[in-house]
Amino acid sequence: MRLGAVRLDRLLAAIRSPLGRIVAGAVGALCVLLIVRGIGVPAIGRVLAGAAALFPLVLALEGAQLACTTLALRSLYGPRVPSGQLVRAGLIGYAVMGLVPAGRAVAEVTRASLLTRWVGAARAAAAAARIQVATLIANGIISIAAVVAVVVSASAPAWLPLAIAGNGAVTLALGASVLLAARRRPGAWLGRVVPKAQGFGADLDDVLQAEPALPAGAIGWELLGRFFQVAQNAVFLACVGGEPTLSRALTSEGIHLVGAALGELIPGQLGATEGNYTLAAGALALPVASAVAIALLAHISQLVWVLAGSLVSVTWPAPPLPEGTAGARRGASAEPSVPLEG
C-alpha cells in the first residue's frame, strides 16, 4: 500500500512538473486539433463566427462565476483580508487553474499562499480546504438538476445521465469526506507525521474546530456561481443555434462537468470537454460541430480571464503588510512565490 502511494506521489509530481505540464497541455491541444479536424474546420469556424455578437455576455458570465468564488473566499477568510487583495488573489488563482494540471487544487494553494500574510498559515490552509468542499458540494447539487434535465430529454444517450449522476455522487462524497476529516483534528495527525509541523497542525485544528462544520456561506456563493454557469450554457446554446431552454442549459452543464472531471489532469481540460460534447451532441439536439463549438467558446472565454489573471500577477503587486497582521507578527515581508511558471 505504501509503495503504491509513493508511486502515485511520483506520478502526480511528474505531471505537475514544468515538463509534465507541457506534455499534458500538448496532449489536450492535440485532442482538440484532431476533433476539430475530424468534424471540419470550416463548419466549426462558421459556428464560432456566428457567436461574436453574444460573446461579451459569455465573458461577463464567466466573470460573474469568478466573483462568486471570490465572495465565497471572503466568507471563509473574514474581514482581515483587504478586498482588493482578495480580488487579486482570485484573479491569479483563476489564471493558475487554467494553466496547470489539477488546476483547481493548485489554484486554491496559490490563493492561500497569497492571503496567508493577512490571516496566518493555519487559517489560509483551512480556507483552502473548505473552499474545495464548497466547490465539490455545489457541483454535486447542480449535477442532480442536470440529471433530471437529461432524463426528461428523450434524445440523450443512455450513458449520459449515468455519467453525470456518477460524477455528482463522487463530488458530494469527496466534499463530505473532507468535512468529516476536518472535524477529526487533521493537524494533530500532520504533527505526528511531520514533527516540524506540530505547531502549524495545532493552529490548524484550532481554526477548524472554531469554524462551523458546514461552510454554508461559501457553498451558497459557489452554488450561485453554478447558476451563472448554467446561464452561460444557455448563451452558448444561443450562440451555436441551439434552443437556450433551462433543460438544455442544465444538460450542457452536466456534459461540461463530466468532461471537466475526466480532464482534470489536463490544463484547462483541453480535449476532454470537446470529446464529451462530441459524444453527447444528440442530447442538445445539435450537430456535432455546433456542440463542440460550445466547448471551444468556453475555452476561449476562460483564456481571456486567464490572460487577465496572468497580467494581474505581474502588474499588481501586493502592498506592504500593515502592523499587527498575522504575517507582520511573523516578520513576513515578502509574498510567497506563485506557481504560474512552475
Work out the pLDDT band at 270, boundaries 50, 70, 90.
low
Mean pLDDT of 247-276: 79
Position 29 scores a pLDDT of 52
Among 167, 162, 150, CA closest to 251: 150
The predicted-structure confidence for 241-256, as pLDDT tens digits, reads as follows 899 999 999 999 999 9
Mean pLDDT of 69-84: 92
Residue 3 burial class via C-beta count within 10 angstroms: exposed 0-12, middle 13-18, buried 19 and up? exposed
- Residue 199 has which C-alpha cell? 505547531
pLDDT above 90 coverage of the chain, percent: 35
**Highest averaged pLDDT of the listed ranges 169-183, 274-288, 303-317:** 169-183
Mean pLDDT of 329-340: 42
The predicted-structure confidence for 177-205, as pLDDT tens digits, reads as follows 998 988 888 888 888 888 888 888 888 88
pLDDT higher than threshold 60 for residue 306: yes
Cα–Cα dist 171/313, whole Å: 30
* Residue type, position 96, single letter: V
- Tell me 100's DSSP state: S
- Report in angstroms the alpha-carbon separations of 223 from 24, 45, 178, 214: 29, 33, 18, 14
pLDDT higher than threshold 70 for residue 299: yes
Domain boundaries, the chain: 18-315
CB 247 within 8 A of CB 235: no
Cα–Cα dist 273/261, whole Å: 9
The predicted-structure confidence for 78-105, as pLDDT tens digits, reads as follows 888 999 999 999 999 888 887 776 677 8
Of residues 176 and 338, the one with the higher pLDDT is 176
pLDDT higher than threshold 60 for residue 209: yes
State the pTM of this model.
Answer: 0.81
| Alpha-carbon Rg for the chain in angstroms | 21
Position 322 scores a pLDDT of 59
pLDDT higher than threshold 60 for residue 115: yes
Residue-averaged pLDDT of the chain: 80
Mean pLDDT of 41-47: 62
